[in-house]
Structure 1
Amino acid sequence: MVHSSLPIDAQGYADRRQRFMAHLGGAAAVIPAATLVTHHADCEWPFRQNSDFWYLTGFDEPDAVALFLPHRPEGERYVLFVNPREPGAEVWTGRRWGTEGAVDQFGADVAHPRSELAQHLRGYLKDAEGIAFRTGHHPAVESVVLEVWSEQLDRASRRGAAALGLVAPCPVLHELRLRKDPAELDRMREACRISAQAHELARAAVKPGMNERQVQALIEFHFLDQGARGPAYGSIVAGGDNACVLHYIDNQDPLKDGDLLLIDAGCSIGDYYNGDITRTFPVNGRFSGEQRALYELVLSAQESAIATVRPGGTAEEVHQTALRALVEGLLDLGLLAGDADGIIEQGAYRHLYMHRTGHWLGLDVHDVGAYRLGEHHVELDPGMVLTVEPGLYISDRLPVPDGQPEIDDRWKGIGIRIEDDVAVLKDGYEVLTATALKDVASMERG
């Protein structure tokens, strides 16, 4: 449980709640916290708060439920149901804030014990014009919400009134989360700073004969040593051909002289903001000719893609810029054949580059927010943060498309990805992960 002062002040959370409730109109929202998840037997995974709940509350305990009630009078609009103080439980799992702390420390207008949710929910939802609740994710809370909703539908039909709607809060809430405020961007800078330091330490330490797991340990030790919660996702430490497996997390093989090492790792800090960085470099400090050619191509594609990040642009433009650069470079190297436009249209490059060039980043590593609305791509706005991560993966795992050249063995087993976290600013962009070096000279040593 987190009982220290919050990196984003209470007013910041209050401002978010106010913006959220302004979008709700006359509907009431029910947003549950995460619950503890069993790892095995009676052991649980470390607790990770639900990002939507955290965004609005900053409250880091399991099983809580937050009500947002814009239809109620001032002083009754933000209600928290939390586990009460209980010495017998706290001696096992740590101190709880309880109902008093929910009000005094977290700004709730009213707080109740979690066990009283069913008792109070009817009254709080009375006269709301709808209920905003995400079904299918919180069964214990859902049964209570649906029971209250069903009762309200019955009353509405008897009175001849319009049926009360049940809607998802996600479209509104995720639109808010997509655009980070200045305080959030500062927290993401901190996550990226720690993550970048870990990559620099790893590159300096790596040498032939080390094990992938040792490099993972070095990186994740730095995360913890700097006060982060730990890795934001399963760290990928992939030597040689392992780098051609996009989500490789076995991290158990020796690092061989002459191979490249791909590291995709980032930390999650105390308030859950994340870094997400990938770097690729030679284990022995020197690129081979083929490795250097592909690395320079991926780096050039990434730099061109980052340069397109700006307000009014789109994530699709970022992807298409990187994709075209990769395809044209692969044509020059003889790994593709034909016309660049035709190859892109047919997808005849996908045996070498099979993923998109990035994703939103924030409280979740693959953060919430739409990429397109109908036929239109979402325009980039100040405060959005996205990764830019082109790559090339040369192996025989996927069949070579008809009309494309077979891959010579000298290229096989080379996997390269370069990933940075980029914030959209009013006048362009900021690379939050710039202190993790990536130029060719820095990737080589000796």
Structure 2
Amino acid sequence: MAFDPSIHAVRRQRFLEHLGEAAAVIPAAPLATHHADCEWPFRQDSDFFYLTGFDEPDAVALLLPHRPEGERFVLFVQPKDPAAEVWTGFRWGTEGAVERYGADMAYPLDQLPARLPEFLAGAEAIAFRVGRHPAVEPLVLSTWGRQLDSYSRSGEAAMGLVAPTPILHRLRLRKEPHELERMRQACGISAEAHELARQMTRPGMNEAEVQAAIEAHFRARGARGPAYGSIVAGGDNACVLHYTANTAPLQDGDLLLIDAGCSLEDYYNGDITRTFPVNGCFSGEQRELYALVLEAQEAAVETVQPQGTAEAVHATALRVLVEGLVELGLLAGDPDGIIERGDYRHLYMHRTGHWLGLDVHDVGAYRLGEQPATLEPGMVLTVEPGLYVSDRLAVPEGQPAIEARWKGIGIRIEDDVAVTDEGHEVLTAAALKSVAAMERQAT
């Protein structure tokens, strides 16, 4: 993918328009060590990347609407250093920050303490996310503190700290056409990996073998790798929502739940869950529960419409699941009462989806005060109902005990769905999910 600085320039301009006269300080992510002096693979802060496209650690962006044109986007970055680059790789440095990334000015990071006061001077407020950036926060607070100390002489000081994240996250919630295209690509690669996994799976394999094949496909197709810890859960392991051990053998007669998606070089993600029989054939109980989850999921997907709500998507899936579980004898009573009391939660204990974008659980409000947020074109959410039948949670009083024939069945079906002007687009449609497709076997 060719880097296009104009995409980030447009985002910065929109952000500046919303800031008013507040000066924003947006830090990049630092490197993180996991043992001794070895570092985790770098993952940029999503807000910083959204505004700059700059993918190096320990940088700081200043967005300064109170300054003149040509002084409103300032980057502090690690300088060019051949000795350091021998060990840790290429750096763009201050020249690259200007020439490639469009900064009006760029300085070495070690100049931030000295230069920050001059850039924040005259701003009505300072937009900074407190509690997240321990290396930068003391500099911001001390700069503001000095402004307050000198107010009686200068008559100038920022009125307070404000959070930039509500503005940024509202902007990020509605995806641009460029973002939607990148998410289509991430979802397409993720769907290919799921199809590959289903075709290769056989009894006697290990969960780890399937995980390795999925993640190898991500890398082979040019993705960074998995967007999150891949879940490859056979049998009863599928009843653990965030199971990531992925070390158990796959048993004949069990289901395999795979929740996996890739992340692209620019961090856009896919997030797909599929569940299928290890041996290529559902048992009677497995088929009944799978068909029920599929019905709930397809009904919920149809609920994704402009002016709808994520709350309605969840409610639709929940209603189908509860009514179906009553028919199967796994729940008893009036569906309205079961839903109101939460008597289904030992079988379905999570919501039906989340926003998706630069982050897998992407930013954006689900509620605005007492009202659920309205779905608008450009928003992308997952739709992922499931059922998990085990002894882990107590059966609510008045509900039937779970017969042994149902236990150990865990099923989730998840697609990524974009809201469009006309309705919705299922970005992950290439990953099959019908009962017949799940029972196909490789020849």
Q: TM-score when scaled to structure 2?
A: 0.98
1:285 and 2:285 correspond: no
Q: Which residue of 2 aligns with 1:79?
A: 74
Percent identity among equivalent residues? 74
Equivalent positions of 1:310-389 (< 5 A) are: 310-389=305-384
Q: Cα deviations across residues 338-364 of structure 1 (Å, max 9, x unaligned)?
A: 000000000000000000000000000
Q: Secondary structure at the match of 1:139?
A: coil
Q: Deviation of residue 445 (structure 1)?
A: 2.1
Q: Is the 8 A contact 1:32 1:141 kept in 2?
A: yes
Q: Is the 8 A contact 1:298 1:326 kept in 2?
A: yes
1:143 and 2:110 correspond: no
1:5 and 2:16 correspond: no
Q: Which residue of 2 aligns with 1:241?
A: 236
Q: Is the 8 A contact 2:174 2:377 kept in 1?
A: yes
Q: Is the 8 A contact 1:198 1:219 kept in 2?
A: yes
**One-letter amino acid of the counterpart of residue 286, structure 2:** Q
The structure 1 segments of at least 4 consecutive aligned residues displaced by more than 3 Å after TM superposition are: 157-163
Deviates more, 1:158-167 or 1:286-295: 158-167
Q: Is the 8 A contact 1:156 1:164 kept in 2?
A: no
Q: Which residue of 2 aligns with 1:166?
A: 161
Cα distance between partner residues in 2 of 1:375 and 1:172? 20
1:215 and 2:210 correspond: yes
Cα distance between partner residues in 2 of 1:139 and 1:293? 52
Q: Deviation of residue 168 (structure 1)?
A: 0.9
Q: Which residue of 1 aligns with 2:12?
A: 17
Number of aligned positions between the proteins: 441
- Where do 5+ consecutive residues of structure 1 fail to align? none
Q: Deviation of residue 152 (structure 1)?
A: 1.2
Q: Which residue of 2 aligns with 1:97?
A: 92
- Alpha carbons of 1:70 and 1:249: their partners in 2 closer, same or farther (altered >3 Å)? same
Cα distance between partner residues in 2 of 1:328 and 1:309? 21
**One-letter amino acid of the counterpart of residue 2, structure 2:** S
**One-letter amino acid of the counterpart of residue 226, structure 1:** R
- Alpha carbons of 1:65 and 1:395: their partners in 2 closer, same or farther (altered >3 Å)? same
Q: Cα deviations across residues 298-337 of structure 1 (Å, max 9, x unaligned)?
A: 0000000000101100000000000000000000000000
Deviates more, 1:136-145 or 1:97-106: 136-145
Cα distance between partner residues in 2 of 1:274 and 1:101? 27
Q: Which residue of 1 aligns with 2:249?
A: 254
Q: Which residue of 2 aligns with 1:133?
A: 128
Q: Which residue of 2 aligns with 1:62?
A: 57
Cα distance between partner residues in 2 of 1:161 and 1:386? 44
Identify the match of residue 298 of structure 2 among 294, 303, 318: 303
Q: Cα deviations across residues 417-445 of structure 1 (Å, max 9, x unaligned)?
A: 00000000011000000000000110002
Q: Which residue of 1 aligns with 2:397?
A: 402
Cα distance between partner residues in 2 of 1:314 and 1:39? 40
**One-letter amino acid of the counterpart of residue 404, structure 1:** Q
- Alpha carbons of 1:157 and 1:287: their partners in 2 closer, same or farther (altered >3 Å)? farther
Q: Deviation of residue 111 (structure 1)?
A: 0.3
Q: Secondary structure at the match of 1:39?
A: strand
Cα distance between partner residues in 2 of 1:58 and 1:312? 32
Q: Which residue of 1 aligns with 2:34?
A: 39
Q: Secondary structure at the match of 2:168?
A: helix
Cα distance between partner residues in 2 of 1:306 and 1:407? 29
Cα distance between partner residues in 2 of 1:100 and 1:431? 42
Identify the match of residue 420 of structure 2 among 412, 418, 425: 425
Q: Secondary structure at the match of 2:41?
A: coil
- Alpha carbons of 1:424 and 1:177: their partners in 2 closer, same or farther (altered >3 Å)? same
Q: Which residue of 2 aligns with 1:113?
A: 108
Q: Is the 8 A contact 1:422 1:431 kept in 2?
A: yes
**One-letter amino acid of the counterpart of residue 320, structure 1:** A
1:443 and 2:438 correspond: yes
Identify the match of residue 191 of structure 2 among 187, 196, 204: 196
Q: Which residue of 2 aligns with 1:27?
A: 22
Q: Cα deviations across residues 271-309 of structure 1 (Å, max 9, x unaligned)?
A: 000000000000000000000000000000000000010
Cα distance between partner residues in 2 of 1:18 and 1:431? 31
Q: Is the 8 A contact 1:357 1:390 kept in 2?
A: yes
**One-letter amino acid of the counterpart of residue 353, structure 2:** G
Q: Secondary structure at the match of 2:136?
A: helix
Q: Deviation of residue 162 (structure 1)?
A: 7.2
Q: Deviation of residue 140 (structure 1)?
A: 1.1
Q: Which residue of 1 aligns with 2:223?
A: 228
Q: Cα deviations across residues 39-91 of structure 1 (Å, max 9, x unaligned)?
A: 10010000000000000000000000000000100000000000000001000
